[in-house]
Amino acid sequence: MKGYLLVIGALLLSSCGKASPLAQLPDGKCSQSQQLLAKDHISGQIDAIADQNWQKAYSFAAKSFQETIDLERFTQIISEQYVLLITNKGYTFDSCEIENERLVQKITVVGLNDDFRMTYRLSVEDQKLGVVAAAVTDVSEDIST
């Protein structure tokens, strides 16, 4: 039993030694682990928005965002200005950069008629990602020939 506890203790200590991928955010390209965290976080929010699960979608927002925008206002903003996320037919992840200690993830959202390029800005608060802002940055029209 003593050996078993010793192994568990060693495992716990060794896992504590690994720095979080969010611990330091120097400007430049996101690391692979930072990209995965950003993808998981943004996917969680977009999927919740598509399901119109407003409470869950709101939970992916940064604490600083939640301090200025309440759930009711968040729901109104998404319903009025981001219908493309509610009706999306899928999305892909493009580049991820770190700027001013924020992750800036570009994505492409497949819409009903057009594809939209969006830029998500995520902050890190208490080693946790939070969406600070998301904006449509480009629309590419599907031209049928």
pLDDT digits (tens, 9 = 90+) for 97-125: 999 999 999 999 999 888 999 999 999 99
| 141 has pLDDT over 90 | no
Q: Rounded CA gap, 81 and 74, in Å?
A: 10
C-alpha distances in angstroms, 52 versus 36, 38, 67? 24, 21, 21
Nearest Cα residue to 64 out of 129, 135, 134: 129
For 63-93, what is each residue's pLDDT tens digit?
999 999 999 999 999 999 999 999 999 999 9
Could you tell me which residue, 37 or 19, shows the higher pLDDT?
A: 37
The pTM of this model reads 0.82
- What dihedral angle (degrees, nearest 10) is formed by the CA atoms of 137, 118, 107, 101? 100
Rounded Cα distance, 41 and 26, in Å: 20
Residue type, 16: C
